[in-house]
Amino acid sequence: MKALIAPLFGILLGLAVLAALGNAPEPAPVPAVSAEPPGLTELLARGPVCVAWTEMAGDTPMPHEGGLVFYRHENLVYGSAWFLKATYTKAWPLVAGVGTVNNETIYIAFRNATHQEEHEFYHAACVFQYNPVTREFHCEFMQQADPYSGRVPGKARGRLVTRPGPEYDPYVSAIVKKAADKPVVAQFHPCPVLRHNEGKGEYTLYLANEEFHFCCPSCMDVFQANPQIFMPQRREDEAP
């Protein structure tokens, strides 16, 4: 009799376990994780974007390297760029700019941010193309370094800095503050892009029955790439 009870007990226990498992709730599905790397718009939505860049001569890197920070506030992208290493005969200033973003492309106009007299006329219009897969930026720009030379083209290549070191901290803090501050608008004919600068008659565009004066041709380029971003801002700022 005892020999029959043990196997029977084992069978009953197994049936109880199976019944319990059958009534258990199914585990919640694990949400799918996208393998797609974040694009430029998503990166800017997270906060300041830091870049290490190198100026290029064709496909050859030049000994001109520096840092760059982008920060999006409302509809505008604020930028700040500086040299860490260069072989120019004179030091180049910190430059600051304002522009727009469209998908993986930033259009931005840079001007001298230090008000150094020897760089008073420096300006550049830059187009940055971002590749989310390689995390690289490819930049083409038109710049004017002094009032006596014309605009010349150039190229630069950058890489996204995912863990920026402390050397980026002061530039990140400055650009966030600049974006939050209400811009100081020029007294007469402010440039629609860099609004603290005066627009000039030689840099004029007519669009939608309006006349726009710019402080430099770089701002004209950036405005034409995305005029709808700057036109509403202009009307709001100049409203009585």
Within a domain: 26: no
Within a domain: 79: yes
Within a domain: 215: no
Within a domain: 12: no
Rounded Cα distance between 231 and 69, Å, is 25
Within a domain: 52: yes
pLDDT of residue 208: 84
CATH number (domain holding residue 150): 2.40.128.120
> pLDDT tens track of the chain, all 240 residues?
445 445 545 554 555 544 555 555 555 665 555 578 999 999 999 999 999 999 999 999 999 999 999 999 989 999 999 998 888 766 788 999 999 999 999 999 999 988 887 787 889 999 999 999 999 999 999 999 888 888 999 999 999 999 999 999 999 999 999 999 987 888 888 999 999 899 998 899 998 888 999 999 999 999 999 999 998 765 555 544
CB 207 within 8 A of CB 224: no
Within a domain: 14: no
User: pTM of the full predicted structure?
Assistant: 0.80
Rounded Cα distance between 75 and 174, Å, is 19
Domain carrying residue 154:
40-180
Count of domains forming the chain: 1
CB 66 within 8 A of CB 91: no
Within a domain: 69: yes
pLDDT of residue 17: 47
